[in-house]
């Protein structure tokens, strides 16, 4: 069992944060201490005088151990735009992220690192989420939003992960569209197309119950 995973998605707003929180609860149910990390976040608000991101605050809230916010989210940007634009005056440095991750790994049994946007979303002028994942050298868990177009998005993202040389530890089916037609058939088609295990199907919820979502998972 790995001590850390990188969580990526097939696009923006596919449910990466909810999936990450479900994974955190899953490992906590196994008796593990768990921390979540969102190295790069755009669309932050001033909170106690500092820019903070709603998703990163959730990761901090659900962690087994309380740590400084800056370790969870080293790069917090005000504008809700691509990080390479939002962070033009404070670009993401991979070494800074790596140092924060090593600190978190020294504190907990498991660390879940949530990416930003999709696999090829730029995080600075030269590098993308894929470069961050490769730098951290973590196995990848792919979150697939089960909605129209999901088969193509899942296959393309999976191929890109494999091309990076990183292992894909599995994928999660995140049911984001309550009116999705042939949901089960779409999930089955993706499962057949990918040479990596389906770790769980997370049903649509208006308000997340992370303990319930955690019970839908099987990792390892």
Residues that are catalytic: 38
C-alpha neighbours within 13 Å on the C-beta side of residue 124: 13
* Cβ neighbours around 81 below 10 Å, total: 12
CA distances from 37 to 17, 129, 197, 211, 217 (A): 10, 14, 23, 19, 20
| HEC string for 79-128 | CCCCHHHHCCCCCCCHHHHHHHHHHHHHHCCEEEEEEEEECCCECCCCCE
89 Ramachandran zone, left/alpha/beta (phi>0; psi -120 to 50): alpha
Do the bridges between strand 34-37 and strand 110-118 make them parallel or antiparallel, or are there none, so unpaired? parallel
Question: H/E element holding 60?
Answer: helix 54-61
Are 141 and 6 in contact, with CB atoms under 8 Å apart?
Answer: yes
Are 27 and 19 in contact, with CB atoms under 8 Å apart?
Answer: no
């Amino acid at each position: 069992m790995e001590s850390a995973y990188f969580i990526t998605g097939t696009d923006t707003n596919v449910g990466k944060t909810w999936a990450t929180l479900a994974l955190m609860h899953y490992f906590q149910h196994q008796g593990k201490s768990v921390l979540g990390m969102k190295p790069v976040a755009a669309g932050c608000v001033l909170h106690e005088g500092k820019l903070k991101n709603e998703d990163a605050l959730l990761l901090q809230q659900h962690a087994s151990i309380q740590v400084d916010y800056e370790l969870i989210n080293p790069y917090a940007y005000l504008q809700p735009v691509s990080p390479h634009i939002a962070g033009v005056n404070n670009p993401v440095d991979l070494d800074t992220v790596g140092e924060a991750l090593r600190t978190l790994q020294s504190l907990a049994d498991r660390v879940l690192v949530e990416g930003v946007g999709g696999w090829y979303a730029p995080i600075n002028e030269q590098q993308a989420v894929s470069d961050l994942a490769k730098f951290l050298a973590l196995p990848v868990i792919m979150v697939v939003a089960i909605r129209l177009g999901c088969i193509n998005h899942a296959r393309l993202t999976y191929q890109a992960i494999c091309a990076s040389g990183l292992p894909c530890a599995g994928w999660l089916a995140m049911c984001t569209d309550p009116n999705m037609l042939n949901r089960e058939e779409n999930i089955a088609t993706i499962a057949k197309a990918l040479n990596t295990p389906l770790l769980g199907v997370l049903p649509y919820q208006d308000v997340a119950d992370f303990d319930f979502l955690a019970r839908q998972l099987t990792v390892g």
